[in-house]
Structure 1
Amino acid sequence: MNRFAALFATLDGTTKTSAKVAALADYLRSAPGEDRVWAIALLSGKRPRRSVRSTELRAWAAEKAQVPLWLFEESYAMVGDLAETIALILPAGKAVDPPALASAMRELAALSGMDDDHRKAAILDAWDRLGPMERLVFNKLITGGFRVGVSRGLVTRALAEATGMDEGTLAHRLMGDWTPAATSFDHLIGDGDSRADTRPYPFALASGLEKTPEILGAPSLWTAEWKWDGIRGQLIHRDGLLALWSRGEELITDRFPEFAMLADFLPSGTALDGEVVVWDHEADLPMAFSALQRRIGRKSVTRRILAEAPARFIAYDLLETGGKDIRTAPLMERRARLQSLVAGLSPTLPLGISPALPFSNWEELDHLRRSARQFRAEGVMLKQVQSPYHNGRKRGEWWKWKLDPWSVDAVMIYAQAGHGRRANLFTDFTFALRDGESLVPFAKAYSGLTDAEFAEITRWVQKNTLERFGPVRRVTPELVFEIGFEGIQESPRHKSGIALRFPRMIRWRKDKPLSEIDTMENLRQLLARAQA
């Protein structure tokens, strides 16, 4: 645990990529095999489930530190991170015989099977045995808040440097639903038994196009298609097994049972990249994302849901055919093979192909983009015709050119401090619109502004607080912001009756007074347009 904690401190203490890769590679060369597997898992996003409630940890830490719970809560509000607050407030422990990382993870896994008294005793014992940095990391693992500035790609690069293996090969082998508790280091990076192996490939990602596409050069070098509003996934058929993977590497095959029939029609050794959507057969278009949300998170799907929200896989790339990885082939070659594959299948199957959009100049494409909502899309995707299917995001070859977001001007009515490095700034806000003489809260947002703007708003909040509700402050309704969002739908769970998708602050409208904010009627009109 001490070696992993030292690695965490190094990674957290530098912004230099080269330094992070060097520290990771050194750890992956020298740490015990079990610890290496756990480090790869934790740093690439495979975090353990929380086995202790945060309320329990707060109470136990306050008791151990012999401070009243209210003082602990005030400290937490200032620090902004529960794991760090606990590490700072606890008295010094013995810091003797710290367990190895793999042993510490086994101890954490055992907590879920304990009663409250034994779980408390185990946590207190662990705190006593760990030094300050080890205790901080341990707390982050307990609370589920383990994050450090390292991407999966960086971990893969360091592992390639440590082992001398090809980075692309390692990226593929780290995909899938492997569990660190049941995987050895040699098996993880080795070939293993590839029969019946349905692991996905690393997903290729696009960058957002913020300017007009003229900067990309000649239109003939690019192909365009709709940017569908669904769940990105890879559909894999190998040796009689069909698997559907989400971009988050979650195996979601059982949630979409209508795809099972595709195992009888797709050749073995096929891997498709595409989008899972709910399909409106009458309109021959995807339904709104809200329809897909009925399927997300369900482990069992009723006949009624299957009938009302039938899923369809819209394929836009072919990654493997006949068991051969073709990701390095040019995009247009892969697309031609994909079209040939799908053309031979029945149109009644829950599988289609994302059509290429015809355009000869950028003005034509912009016109198509502006009509995206008519086709229930978010905008268009632009891909170089000669581009390979790369690992992760490679800026310059794939772009997403989204529609301008919906937006309204709203007033801030509540403010709450952020977490981590923004713990001393008010960054999380609740916004309201006018409804007659009343202000109705309709959205929360915490992104879109600069640190300087957040600092200025923080000073204003401190001077204009009307009431406090724990960490939340009710403020004078005065500051107006333009709130952007990607989607809008009815929601009986919200006071406004409306839910927004991905709300964010586009800009601080210092030029607008409270009297000029939008109304709930404006928002309902946007909802009607979206539903139409």
Structure 2
Amino acid sequence: MKAFAELIKTLDATNRTNTKVAALSNYFKDAPDPDKVWTIAILSHRRPSRAVNTTLLRQWASELAAIPLWLFEESYHIVGDLAETIALVIPEQHNKPSFEKPLSVVMEELIALKPLKEQQKKDYLLELWPQLDYYERFVFTKFITGGFRIGISQKLMTRALAQATGLDEDVLAYKLMGNWNPAEISFEDLVLKQKQADFLSKPYPFYLAYALEEEATALGSPEDWFMEHKWDGIRAQLIIRNNTLFVWSRGEELVTDSYPEFQALTEILPDGTVLDGEILPYPDGRIGSFNDLQKRLGRKTISKTLLQKIPVILKAYDLLEWQGDDIRTRPFQWRRKQLDTLVGPCAEIPDIPLQLSPVLEIESWEQAAKERDRSREVRSEGLMLKQRSSPYRVGRKKGDWWKWKVDPFTIDAVLTYAMRGHGRRSNLFTDYTFALWDRNEAGSPELVTFAKAYSGLSDAEFRKLDAWIRKNTLERFGPVRSVTPYHVFEIAFEGIARSKRHKSGVATRFPRILRWRTDKKIEDANSLEELKMLIPD
């Protein structure tokens, strides 16, 4: 545990990638094997579920620190991170012995802690917290809260592990995917040992595209590129090996049980097939909205009613394994031809949840731009541009695949609530709630909240707005402040759908601030009716 805390301290103190990789590599060379496995799990988001709720953590930490709860809460709002606040306020024991428990033992204790009674959990924490130094206590509490994020991507961690073991980075990325349990698997079995059975259900690391930010003409001749729509669903790999179906999301989650309609594909697709594609809602025989798909997400069992109401399909756009052979190094043009041969005939089979993502017949960038502009008509987010000669790479690489997204929706809204940010912005009000006018003829116009956003302004703008918020607060609701309606902002978002869960009746996807409209008064802000006019039919 001490070595892991020192590792986090080192990683937290630098922004240099090479320094982070070197620190991780040295750790993987020296740490005990069980600690290596848990470190891989922690850095690839396979942490145990939260053992204690945050309300109890705040109460117990304030009690141990001998400060009133209100003072702890004020400190928390200033610091912006619960684990860091607890690490700061709890006093350390004087002349305490060095904490020697390995990381793996601590993680096993946390797993065993979850089913215990509340008093037993409290006794464990009140005894352990003072034994730890600041960074050990910070890391340990991060484990408890289940929010361990330190700016280390799985790709960076995999690179360090490759340096420490001498194994190929792509091979390691493949090994670390899948449904393994850090409490049950050894470092030898997870990383070092080659076992063919381990690869039966595992997907390939996903190839990710960069957003196209320059003019498309800079890519050269359009003849060198395949173009298709960028579908707005869940990226997934569909695997059939040993006559068994596996479906993996891009988040490395095995979601086979969530999409039982795909089981029919085991009778159609040959063994040794891996497709890359997009899971899309398909109600009434046409592509639905992402809001439709959300009704299927996270469910282990799907009722017959839901299957009938929100069926899904896989829009296939790449073939990664064919007749049991890994074909990712083949040019995309070759893979696409094999995909067309494999999936094309499925269109003639009724009620099969598999379709090809059509390649667009486009001869000029001007024509491509026009097709991109009509993306929302076909429920897509824009275009995907894929180099004909490109292999299927690992992770995000520039040059061969680009996503050319359609311009976002925009609306002018009024700032109505604010809350302090997190991390380096924890002392500023940077998390905002925005509202639009509900101009109901039956009464006077009122502002109705519809979205939250916390990105899009410069540091100088955040500071300026923070000073204004402090002087123009109307009410306080814990960490949230309502403010005088005065400022108008242009809000951008990627998608929109009707929603019964929101007072506005509308849900937006990925809202963010586009610009501060200092040229507009609140009377000039848009209305809910105007927002709802953006919802696709």
What TM-score do you get using the length of structure 1 for normalisation?
A: 0.97
Q: Supply the AA of the counterpart residue of 1:414.
A: Y
In structure 2, the residue matched to 1:442 is 450
Q: Which consecutive segments of 4 or more residues in structure 1 shift more than 4 A? A: none
Match of 1:452 among 447, 460, 473: 460
In structure 2, the residue matched to 1:12 is 12
Contact 1:415 1:473 in 2 (8 A): yes
Matched, 1:21 2:29: no
How far apart are residue 469 of structure 1 and its match?
1.4
Match of 1:179 among 178, 181, 189: 181
In structure 1, the residue matched to 2:367 is 364
C-alpha distance in 2 between matches for 1:223 and 1:5: 48
How far apart are residue 175 of structure 1 and its match?
0.6
1:168-225 CA-to-partner distances (Å, cap 9, x unmatched) read 1111111111111111111111322426721111111111112321121111111111
Q: Supply the AA of the counterpart residue of 1:441.
A: T
Contact 2:179 2:254 in 1 (8 A): yes
CA distance 1:341–1:5, change in 2 (3 Å): same
Contact 2:418 2:430 in 1 (8 A): yes
1:315-372 CA-to-partner distances (Å, cap 9, x unmatched) read 1111111221111111111111111111344533211111101111100001111111
Give the 3-state SS of the residue equivalent to 1:263 in structure 2: helix
In structure 2, the residue matched to 1:229 is 232
Q: Supply the AA of the counterpart residue of 1:9.
A: K
Q: Supply the AA of the counterpart residue of 1:65.
A: A
Contact 1:64 1:90 in 2 (8 A): yes
1:132-153 CA-to-partner distances (Å, cap 9, x unmatched) read 1111100111011211111111
CA distance 1:440–1:344, change in 2 (3 Å): closer
Give the 3-state SS of the residue equivalent to 1:181 in structure 2: coil
Contact 1:488 1:501 in 2 (8 A): yes
C-alpha distance in 2 between matches for 1:269 and 1:500: 40
Give the 3-state SS of the residue equivalent to 2:183 in structure 1: helix
In structure 2, the residue matched to 1:315 is 316
Contact 1:221 1:385 in 2 (8 A): yes
Give the 3-state SS of the residue equivalent to 1:492 in structure 2: coil
In structure 1, the residue matched to 2:490 is 482
Contact 2:372 2:382 in 1 (8 A): yes
Give the 3-state SS of the residue equivalent to 1:92 in structure 2: coil
In structure 1, the residue matched to 2:344 is 343
Q: Supply the AA of the counterpart residue of 2:394.
A: N
Structure 2: give runs of 5+ residues left out of the alignment: 440-444
C-alpha distance in 1 between matches for 2:134 and 2:475: 37
C-alpha distance in 2 between matches for 1:203 and 1:376: 23
Contact 1:196 1:238 in 2 (8 A): no
In structure 2, the residue matched to 1:116 is 118
C-alpha distance in 2 between matches for 1:211 and 1:440: 37
Q: Supply the AA of the counterpart residue of 2:328.
A: R
Q: Supply the AA of the counterpart residue of 1:445.
A: A
What aligned pairs does 1:98-137 form with structure 2 within 5 A after superposition?
98-137=100-139
Contact 1:51 1:112 in 2 (8 A): yes
Match of 1:491 among 499, 502, 511: 499
In structure 2, the residue matched to 1:408 is 411
Contact 1:95 1:131 in 2 (8 A): no
Give the 3-state SS of the residue equivalent to 2:138 in structure 1: helix
1:479-502 CA-to-partner distances (Å, cap 9, x unmatched) read 111111122222222111211122
Give the 3-state SS of the residue equivalent to 2:476 in structure 1: strand
Contact 1:380 1:402 in 2 (8 A): yes
Give the 3-state SS of the residue equivalent to 1:48 in structure 2: coil
In structure 2, the residue matched to 1:50 is 50
How far apart are residue 280 of structure 1 and its match?
4.1
Contact 1:58 1:69 in 2 (8 A): yes
Structure 1: give runs of 5+ residues left out of the alignment: none
In structure 1, the residue matched to 2:293 is 292
Match of 2:279 among 265, 276, 300: 276
1:416-446 CA-to-partner distances (Å, cap 9, x unmatched) read 0111121012111111112233111111111
Give the 3-state SS of the residue equivalent to 2:126 in structure 1: helix
CA RMSD of aligned residues (A): 1.4
C-alpha distance in 2 between matches for 1:313 and 1:290: 17
C-alpha distance in 2 between matches for 1:344 and 1:405: 36
How far apart are residue 281 of structure 1 and its match?
5.2
Q: Which moved more, 1:509-518 or 1:100-109?
A: 509-518
Contact 1:479 1:514 in 2 (8 A): yes
Q: Which moved more, 1:218-227 or 1:483-492?
A: 483-492
C-alpha distance in 2 between matches for 1:364 and 1:107: 61
In structure 1, the residue matched to 2:38 is 38
Contact 1:232 1:275 in 2 (8 A): yes
In structure 1, the residue matched to 2:155 is 153
Match of 2:218 among 212, 215, 218: 215
Q: Which moved more, 1:422-431 or 1:489-498?
A: 489-498
In structure 1, the residue matched to 2:533 is 525
How far apart are residue 95 of structure 1 and its match?
5.0
Q: Which moved more, 1:251-260 or 1:463-472?
A: 463-472
Contact 1:95 1:130 in 2 (8 A): no
Matched, 1:467 2:439: no
Q: Which moved more, 1:215-224 or 1:194-203?
A: 194-203
Contact 1:381 1:400 in 2 (8 A): yes
C-alpha distance in 1 between matches for 2:16 and 2:41: 22
In structure 1, the residue matched to 2:442 is none
Give the 3-state SS of the residue equivalent to 2:104 in structure 1: helix
1:347-404 CA-to-partner distances (Å, cap 9, x unmatched) read 3321111110111110000111111111111111111111111111002221111111
C-alpha distance in 2 between matches for 1:358 and 1:418: 47
Q: Supply the AA of the counterpart residue of 2:103.
A: L
Contact 1:195 1:239 in 2 (8 A): no
Q: Supply the AA of the counterpart residue of 2:113.
A: L
In structure 2, the residue matched to 1:246 is 249
Matched, 1:69 2:69: yes
Q: Supply the AA of the counterpart residue of 1:136.
A: F
In structure 1, the residue matched to 2:377 is 374
Contact 1:442 1:494 in 2 (8 A): yes
In structure 2, the residue matched to 1:301 is 302
Contact 1:196 1:241 in 2 (8 A): no
What TM-score do you get using the length of structure 2 for normalisation?
A: 0.96
1:53-76 CA-to-partner distances (Å, cap 9, x unmatched) read 001100100110111000000000
